[in-house]
Amino acid sequence: MHVIVVGCGRVGSELAARLRREGQSVAIMDKNANAFRRLPEVWDGQSVVGFGFDRDDLLKAGIERADAVAAVTSGDNTNILTARIARETFEVPNVVARIYDPRRALIYQKLGIATVATVSWTVDQVARRLFPEQIGTAWTDPTGQITMVEYPLPDSLCGRGLAELADADRFRPVMVTRGGTARLAGANMVGQEGDVIHFAVRTDAFADLNHLLESPGSPAAGRTPQDSGASATRGRRS
């Protein structure tokens, strides 16, 4: 694969170096030639002085044969413009833009541009490490309707089937991290001490999931997916 990395700051230089170590063909671009000093001493990739939104500069970097473009400069506008040109003009299949303003991220995801919201991600990572016992958001789909969250399994739920923690199509456990190893949550899997459960949850059901895990002794904690579906059916008929 040929990858173009736009921006040779801390992120761009590390990303480019990693991609080369993995055997990818890499061209890194920056408007400042001095930025390339961040690259490894032995750099056998391509370095292009220029702008990610300049057609001629992109052609020098091999945009016509590129399989992926990562726009990771320090400017949101530059990253988005670069990403849109790569995606819409040159039809590069895999494009990612680094975004500092989290309010813009969803807008550009709807345009088909994957984004990494730096500020939101950093805040979330710090908060999750400050309070590891609390629920933490790991991923949200571009529409904002489905979220992946992780939560340490409460001691009172150890030894119980994880299927009991599902509620129809509102939330369900999908993955378990146990002993440093991640595995999919099987239908017959039983919770163990130290498990971290990863849930897929609808945004409007987030509070209910949080309540269930904080109050495992409540009736909801013993409800099975079948019970949830039946209750919902009875509710619609009434």
pLDDT tens-digit series, residues 199-220: 999 888 888 887 887 764 543 4
Q: Is the residue at 237 inside a domain? A: no
- Residue 2's pLDDT is 95
200 domain residue, yes or no:
yes
CATH number of the domain enclosing 26 = 3.40.50.720
Q: CA-to-CA distance for 114 and 95, rounded, in angstroms?
A: 6
CA quadruple 8, 12, 13, 17: dihedral, nearest 10:
-140
Whether residue 33 is found in the same domain as residue 107: yes
> Does a structural domain hold residue 180?
yes
> Does 186 share its domain with 94?
no
Please report which residue ranges of the chain form alpha helices under DSSP H: 10-21, 55-60, 76-84, 102-110, 118-130, 206-214, 225-237
Q: What pLDDT does 153 receive?
A: 85
Q: What is the domain extent for residue 79? A: 2-118
pLDDT of res. 69: 95
Polymer length of the chain: 238
Q: Are 8 and 39 in contact (CB under 8 A)?
A: yes
- Predicted confidence at residue 92, as pLDDT, reads 93
Judge if 114 and 134 occupy the same domain.
no
**What pLDDT shows up at residue 148?**
83
136 domain-assigned: yes
Same domain flag for 113 and 135: no
CATH code, 185: 3.30.70.1450
User: Quick one: 136 and 212 in the same domain?
Assistant: yes
* Residue from 49, 53, 55 nearest 27 by CA: 49
**Residue ranges of the chain with per-residue pLDDT less than 70:** 105-106, 109-110, 117-138, 140-144, 215-238
Q: In this structure, is residue 235 part of a structural domain?
A: no
62 & 153 share domain: no
Among 118, 138, 157, the domain boundary falls at 118
